[in-house]
Amino acid sequence: MEDSYPQEYGPRWSDRRVEQMLGALVCAVVALLLAMIVIVFIKGWPSFAHNGLAWFGPGGNVDDQLNAIFLSGQAGAEYIYTFHAWPLIWSTLLITGGATAIALFSALFVTVFIVEFAPEWMSNVLQPVVRFLASVPSVIYGLLGVLVLVPFIGNHLVSESQKASVAGVISLSGYSVLAAVVVLTVMIAPLMVSIFSDGLRSVRPGWLEGSLALGVNRWRTTWKIAVRTARPAIVAGTVLATARAIGEAVMLAMISGSVGFAPNPADGAIFVFEPSRPLAPTIVKNIDQLSSPPANATLFAIATVLLFSAAALSLTGWATRRAMRKYGATA
């Protein structure tokens, strides 16, 4: 059989061989991902095993705990694993949730604007702008945040009385949930816009024309027909942007304040000015502690949580898109 192939490059490039080689490569990449999930989980397991579900709960000062964990790995003493990550998790939820909500709102409007309502010149300007904003490295956003936004918040938005009111607990210097949310929103909204607009453009013109022919105005047609049909793309974009937000480490390490503190919305609006530190920046901040076995396990446990949240997000997105497929929409 082998001989019946027209062989331009000799047997080395026969179709079957090429298919097998490519298949092997694909399998290797899949295996690499699986290996990563397994290895990260195994490495982090001691931390989960020692703390149980309390790992995710509140209790004590996270920074002190991290420090104790690190030190216990050095002297040859018994390893300490006690770690209650709630302040970090809460900070992640707060910052990611806030940024995703604001970004989703603004990205939807901007997408609709670019695709439907902007005059030609405006959409010709906006498209490169969105692409540019999406491609600015996160460290530049972090630098601008730390040198422009943080001092502005610290000097102008937070009043002296507010600073005094929490002086015993935490210092309000501008490194805050607010700064983190604002910069993160600017980072992820363009990502959403670029995916949303692909979806919005692929809506069948006939559906829109049908709606317009019934006398529905363009605004309503866009929102009721186009945006609804493009929902799978909206879910896909939101999932990707949220995953990026959860995993953003360096920018947030620069501007979120780097204190293991859980801002409490019950304290009133002041909580947006309070510093905190999400999960991913915690890894960056403590990266030089990898040599201490218990600290190593703790950092990998944090990475496991990040990995599984990212996986859970894409799974949710996939399931949602699947459920929406019956509307005949594509993403």
Site for another protein in 102-121 (CB under 8 A): 106, 109-110, 112-118
Q: Which of 68, 71, 80, 144 is in the footprint of another protein by CB under 8 A?
A: 144
Q: Does position 184 bind another protein by CB under 8 A? A: no
129 touching another protein, by CB under 8 A: yes
Q: What does the angle CA 199 – CA 204 – CA 208 come to, to the nearest 5 degrees?
A: 105
Instruction: Name the percent of the chain in helix, strand, coil, to the closest 5.
Output: 75, 0, 20
99 neighbors 184 (Cβ within 8 angstroms)? yes
- Which residue, 164 or 315, has its beta carbon nearer to another protein? 315
Sign of torsion, CA 12 13 14 20? positive
Residue 3 makes contact with another protein by CB under 8 A: no
Is the separation of the CB atoms in 73 and 287 below 8 Å? no
Binding-site member from 59, 60, 247, 293 for another protein (CB under 8 A): 247
Least Cα distance to 183 among 280, 109, 102 occurs for 102
Q: How far is the CB of 19 from another protein (least distance, A)?
A: 5
Exactly one of 62, 153, 184, 239 binds another protein (CB under 8 A); which one?
A: 239
**Nearer of residues 143 and 165 to another protein, judged by Cβ:** 143
Q: For residues 78-107, which are near another protein according to CB under 8 A?
A: 106
Among 67, 162, 202, 320, binds another protein (CB under 8 A): 202
Q: Would you put residue 145 in left (φ > 0), alpha (ψ -120 to 50) or beta?
A: alpha
Residue placing its CB nearer to another protein in the complex, 50 or 244 = 244
Q: Please give the Cα distance from 4 to 202 (Å, whole number).
A: 43
Measured between alpha carbons, how far is 128 from 199 in angstroms, rounded to an integer? 18
User: What is the phi/psi pair of residue 148, to 5°?
Assistant: -115, -60
298 and 305 Cβ atoms separated by less than 8 Å: no
Q: Does 323 interact with another protein (rule: CB under 8 A)?
A: no
Q: Scan residues 15-44 and list those touching another protein (CB under 8 A).
A: 15, 17-19, 22-23, 25-27, 29-30, 33, 36, 39-40, 43
Q: Considering only residues 137, 210, 265, 268, which one is a binding residue for another protein as defined by CB under 8 A?
A: 137
Of residues 163 and 204, the one with the C-beta less far from another protein: 204
Count of residues interacting with another protein (CB under 8 A): 103
42-71 residues near another protein, rule: CB under 8 A: 43
Binding flag, residue 258, another protein (CB under 8 A): yes
Q: Does 201 bind another protein (CB under 8 A)?
A: yes
Candidates 177, 194, 314; CA nearest to 242 is 314
| Contact of 196 with 242, CB cutoff 8 Å | no
Chain positions 209 to 228 lying near another protein, rule: CB under 8 A, are 209, 212, 217-223, 226
Which residues touch 61 (CB under 8 Å, ≥6 apart)?
260
Q: How far is the CB of 308 from another protein (least distance, A)?
A: 10
Cβ closest to another protein, residue 17 vs residue 231? 17
